[in-house]
Structure 1
Amino acid sequence: NPLSFITGTGQIIPGLEKELMGMEAGDSANITVEPDDAYGPPREDLLHEIPLSQFPASRDIKPGMKFQAQSPNGPIVIVVKTVEDDTVTVDLNHPLAGQRLHFDVKIVGVREPNAQELATAAGGCSCSTESPDNCGPGCSCG
């Protein structure tokens, strides 16, 4: 399925966006993006110890398990690294941190964004067209 994005808005990783710039509809490429231009290297400061009691009592927590949590920037995946006594060490790094990424791309279209797309990309609109009564500040659809 095609992925639509607006350049310069941080919607895709910087290394991929840089390689796509200047491409036109019909162009294809195999692109490799190094970790520093993708999700960065794994960071030690994103390893945290959490009391086992913070996890669902019904679950047998084991290394490798994944949980979803909410951050100020949206949902994140938390990976259990170790379980020792009453402490769980979790990794908040992006699952692809430290990895070289490979993309096989084909540009299916290039166009200028419309005003609604620009407002949404800039974070000014978080509503859906199905429910315009949920419009927030900066929205013009309601």
Structure 2
Amino acid sequence: MSNEGKKVKVHYTGTLDDGTKFDSSLDRGEPLAFTCMAGQMIPGFDRAVRDMAVGDTVTIRLEPQDAYGERREELVQEVPMSEVPENLRGVTVGTQLMLRSPQGAPVPARVSRVTPTTLHLDLNHEMAGKALNFTIELLEAK
């Protein structure tokens, strides 16, 4: 029985290969709700839930192409410090910024390097290039 197109609720915990937990609905005390296979989730997560029955728990490992994709170096942008707004000139490596695309859509960026002349912004998703492990429990499918 497929859950494709159904509204589902799951509890999940996501870890990296070294065991580091990066996210968990259990820690928030609220299940994650989404429409299965509607493109709201990373592809491998969606596919895992598609074939689960309510009450099932699965553990999966997703390669980057089934998660947030490979890391792309062309998404690391160098901005001349002369073009950086005055209020951002004191940012440090690791600072998260919210930029806007030319169409006005929000674009998250992380400061990856700061020099006296340039600010380096990484537009890759923070999980890009990483294999992700999930334990998923299907709570509901309607």
TM-score (norm 2): 0.69
Q: Which amino acid aligns with 1:69?
A: L
The structure in which a higher percent of residues are strand is: 2
Report if aligned partners of 1:77, 1:95 keep a CA contact under 8 Å in 2. Answer: no
2:91 is the counterpart of 1:61 = yes
Report if aligned partners of 2:36, 2:49 keep a CA contact under 8 Å in 1. Answer: no
SS at match of 2:65: helix
Q: Find the counterpart in structure 1 of residue 56 from structure 2.
A: 27
Deviation, structure 1 residue 26: 0.6
Report if aligned partners of 2:99, 2:107 keep a CA contact under 8 Å in 1. Answer: yes
The two structures, once aligned, show a CA RMSD in angstroms of 2.0
Correspondence list, 1:110-125, <5 A? 110-111=141-142
TM-score (norm 1): 0.69
Which of 50, 63, 77 in structure 1 is aligned with 2:108?
Answer: 77
User: Cα deviation per residue 1:43-80 (whole Å; 9 max; x = unaligned)?
Assistant: 01101111324244365222222112234594332111
SS at match of 2:60: strand
The separation in 2 between residues aligned to 1:5 and 1:43, in whole angstroms, is 28
Provide structure 2 residue ranges, at least 5 long, that are not aligned to the other structure: 1-29
Provide structure 1 residue ranges, at least 5 long, that are not aligned to the other structure: 112-142
Q: Which amino acid aligns with 2:39?
A: G
Deviation, structure 1 residue 21: 1.5
| Residues 37 and 86 (structure 1), Cα distance of their counterparts in 2 relative to 1, 3 Å cut | same
Report if aligned partners of 2:53, 2:138 keep a CA contact under 8 Å in 1. Answer: yes
2:138 is the counterpart of 1:107 = yes
Answer with 1 or 2: which has the greater Rg.
Answer: 1
Correspondence list, 1:9-24, <5 A? 9-24=38-53
Larger relative contact order (C-alpha < 8 A, sep ≥ 6)?
2
Which of 46, 61, 67 in structure 2 is aligned with 1:38?
Answer: 67
Deviation, structure 1 residue 18: 1.1
